Structure 1
Amino acid sequence: MARWEPGARERLVLAAVDLFNEQGYDATTVVQIAERAGVTKSTFFRHFPDKRSVLAAGQETLSRAFAAGIAEAPAGAGPLDAVAAGLERVSASMGPLNRELAPRLRAAVAANAELQEHTALKTVGLAAAVTAALVARGVPDPVAALAGELGTLAFKRGFAEWSEGDRAAHDDLSRYTLAALADLRVATAALG
């Protein structure tokens, strides 16, 4: 096994998701993931504390990118316009690997209650990061919380549609996330 071969983190994520789908989450071991990725067990633990955390790979980066986009929105931007800036920023960080991995990851999560719970917690964490970024811009807490939830939902809906779409198309994720946010704006207006 090549100890310092580049791309170990990505190979570990791909190996874990594939093994979770092939033999189930509970039956998959860290050693199997490391072997499939072509790295040692200690290399696995340099990147992840346990097998469940493999599925959270990139979550902190996602939250930071979303928050940075919100922080960089024009000074006069309203909360949802700032969220749109965050969606554009986070969408730019997603590439072909994310699109390829998404259906396999969804299948692995759907087959395991622990992974479903972990995914729900990741969503809560993303909404909290978006809300905190809006509060830092001076948006009042209840408005920031609502906009944070809408932004998170727009990201989830847009990402799902994008990742289920035509893999040959080189369309940008932001098109989907911004369309989902626009749909949610209309839906909230209909609440009265």
Structure 2
Amino acid sequence: MPRWDPRAEERLRAAALELYSEHGYENVTVAQITERAGLTRRTFFRYFTDKRDVLFAGSDRLAPALAEAVQSAEDALSPFEALLAGFVTIGDLLAERVSATAAQRRAIVRNSPELRERERTKFAVVADSLADALERRGAPRSEASLLAQVGVAIFVSAFERWTDDAQSTRFADLVHEVSAELAGHLGGAAPALPDPGPR
């Protein structure tokens, strides 16, 4: 009987990421992953529901964690400030837990239509949770929904910069950098819109 391997999950994830990078996500099977890791299919399914779960395991915890952080932000903060405060709180914790494979995972997701759709679904859930949190803080629903969508864009952009920067910059600093850039763009003159013509 084979002995339990405390590093089995890590070995399976590493093998999967290597294969996805080499051959593309769609062209890799669970059998190939387990063979590369030197483990069994049974071991694989002890940790992951399918080959996609290797990339998204635990992501369901992001939405409630962000929503809780936003709702728990200081009462005096505006809805947008509370959003950024929540991102800083959870972003720094996330940065501590994300491994050096974050950039590799991002490249794999970017190159797969199926995975990009799964990523969009994940962040749609995050946006809904953030909107609920902002509404509980007193923001009108329409404002909460708009800010949540903008917030997701800020969070994703900051995380992408963090991975591109080889994680050498604090995530909190990148959240502030992205939000400042956005504010700078919004502070400019509104673009001229085409005349829609007679009604």
Q: 2:177 aligns with which of 176, 179, 186?
A: 179
Aligned to 2:136: 136
Structure 1 residue 162 displacement after superposition: 1.3
Q: Compared with structure 1, are the counterparts of its residues 135 and 12 closer, same or farther at alpha carbon in structure 2 (3 Å cutoff)?
A: farther
SS in 2 for 1:115: helix
Cα distance in 1 for partners of 2:61, 2:11 equals 18
TM-score (norm 1): 0.84
Q: Is the 8 A contact 2:91 2:171 kept in 1?
A: yes
Query: Share of identical aligned residues, percent?
Result: 32
Change (3 A) 1:105 1:145: same
Report Cα offsets for 1:88-121 as digits up to 9, x if no partner. 1221222366362222112212322111211222
Partner residue in 2 for 1:13: 13
Alignment of 1:53-72 (within 5 A): 53-72=53-72
Amino acid corresponding to residue 87 of structure 1 in structure 2: F
Q: Deviations over 1:104-140 (max 9, x none)?
A: 1122123221112112222212212211221222221
| Counterpart code for 2:147 | A
Q: Give the distance between the partners of 1:135 and 1:33, measured in 2 at CA.
A: 44
- State which drifts further: 96-105 or 175-184: 96-105
Q: Which residue of 1 aligns with 2:194?
A: none
Q: Secondary structure at the match of 2:26?
A: coil
**What is the SS of the residue equivalent to 1:95?**
helix
Q: Distance in 2 between matches of 1:97 and 1:35?
A: 27
SS at match of 1:100: coil
Residue 3 of structure 1 corresponds to 4
Task: Kindly indicate whether the alpha-carbon contact (under 8 Å) linking 2:60 and 2:122 is maintained by their aligned counterparts in 1.
Answer: no
CA distance in 1, matches of 2:128, 2:8: 30
2:45 matched to 1:26? Answer: no
Larger radius of gyration, structure 1 or 2?
2
Cα deviations by residue, 1:53-92 (Å, 9 ceiling, x for unpaired): 2222232222222112102101121111110111112212
* Gap runs ≥5 in structure 1: none
In the other structure, the counterpart of 2:107 is 107
Structure 2 CA distance for aligned equivalents of residues 113 and 166 of structure 1:
25
Equivalent residue, structure 1, for 2:43: 43
TM-score (norm 2): 0.81
How many equivalent residue pairs? 189
Q: Which residue of 2 aligns with 1:75?
A: 75
CA displacement, residues 23-42 of structure 1 (integer Å, 9 cap, x when unaligned): 22122112333344454423
- Say if 2:116 is the partner of 1:125: no
**Alpha-carbon distance in 1 for matches of 2:170, 2:49:** 33
Q: CA RMSD in A?
A: 2.4
When structure 1 is superposed on structure 2, of 65-74 and 178-187 the one drifting more is 178-187
1:93 aligns to what SS in structure 2? helix
- Residues 3 and 132 from structure 1, CA distance in 2 versus in 1: closer, same or farther, beyond 3 angstroms? farther
